[in-house]
Amino acid sequence: MMAESEFEIIRRYFTPHGPRRDDVLAGVGDDAAIVRVPPDRDLVLCMDTLVAGVHFPVATEPAAIGHKALAVNLSDLAAMGAEPAWATLALTLPESDGAWLERFSRGFLELAERYRLQLIGGDLSRGPLSITVEAHGFVVPGKAMRRRGARPGDLVCVTGSLGDAGLALELGEQAPARLRRRLEYPEPRIAAGLVLREHASAAIDVSDGLLADLAHLLEPDGLGAALQIDALPRSPEFTAALPAGPRGDALSLDLPLSGGDDYELCFCLPQGLQAPVAALLGAVSCALTPVGVIEAQPGIRCYYPDGRRYSPRATGYQHFGHEGR
């Protein structure tokens, strides 16, 4: 706890704003929160930590840090097909900097507002900047998506576009604003997750790169996949911002396969469901792209359109000692 009144900081920056839910019986301000899970729902929990200098540059705009700390957790809820409800926040700060806290809380609470998520508690400490969020959501019993469950022959699909955040990192200051926004203010695919939980055989969010996250989805069932690299969805901004020449050609393949931080969903669909599910996702403004097919043989194989194999140069971003954000 910080000497300079933890209570005062929470009261000033975090509690006057954000949604109020009537399933929160006691939120910030008591020793612990009290919440009520609807009788016909299961509770889904996830937690993620962002550390300055590891997960984001120290000088990142505080509103972007606040947004992203919540967004990466909502992305995990989306991958389960859960509807967000509550979150707790543990914030470790080098000093109590009012301007920083004001912007951080704005980024966090603006995203919370959009999903009717209420911040119900937390903790403040002094130390190197790091942010831990635990998010809570609901699923209809038996309806949550899992990593396991895919079958050989299922289509491997992704939402939206891949590689934007990776290209923003690669280009740094030169990155166009739209790509930087993908990196700094990722949009969790909550609406898509709620649609997909009725149809997908398995799902995961793409936080560490498609190859790494798809491998996490395949491993529990001992399955493999064949991917068509020309099918990977790339945004117009991605294609326009690629450097010319061989470096651009390499990035055009490597970033959609291995770039992290896009927070799209990778999911599997039984054959025949592509058109109806694409229509349902279209209704929530989300594109569906089939990129490959599940195979019984373990491992991920990538193919050019002419059938030649492509060997990716990297499999994905690895945080030390970490598995499956």
Helix axes 164-171, 177-184, angle to 10 degrees: 110
Q: What angle do CA 36, 25, 77 make, to 5 degrees?
A: 45
Place of tokens 């016909």: 40
- Rounded to a whole number of angstroms, the minimum distance from the CB of residue 135 to Mg ion is 12
- Rounded to a whole number of angstroms, the minimum distance from the CB of residue 125 to Mg ion is 25
Residues 184-223 that bind Mg ion (CB under 5 A): 205
Phi first, then psi, for residue 175 (nearest 5°) are -65, 135
Q: In this chain, which stretch among 36-44, 72-80, 232-240, 256-264 interacts with Mg ion, using CB under 5 A?
A: 72-80
Task: Please check whether residue 140 is in contact with residue 40, taking contact to mean a CB–CB distance below 8 angstroms.
Answer: yes
Nearer to Mg ion (CB atom), residue 237 or residue 264: 264
Residue 76 touches Mg ion, criterion: CB under 5 A? yes
Residue 170 touches Mg ion, criterion: CB under 5 A? no
Q: How many residues bind Mg ion (CB under 5 A)?
A: 3
Nearer to Mg ion (CB atom), residue 105 or residue 258: 258
- Rounded to a whole number of angstroms, the minimum distance from the CB of residue 193 to Mg ion is 11
Residue 48 touches Mg ion, criterion: CB under 5 A? no
Pairing of strands 118-126, 83-93: parallel
- Rounded to a whole number of angstroms, the minimum distance from the CB of residue 63 to Mg ion is 23
Structure tokens at 112: 């919370």
- Rounded to a whole number of angstroms, the minimum distance from the CB of residue 201 to Mg ion is 17
Q: In this chain, which stretch among 74-82, 89-97, 225-233, 311-319 interacts with Mg ion, using CB under 5 A?
A: 74-82
Phi first, then psi, for residue 73 (nearest 5°) are -75, -40
Cα dist from 148 to 106, 214, 215, 268, 309, whole Å: 37, 11, 11, 10, 26
Could you list the residues that contact Mg ion (CB under 5 A)?
76, 205, 325
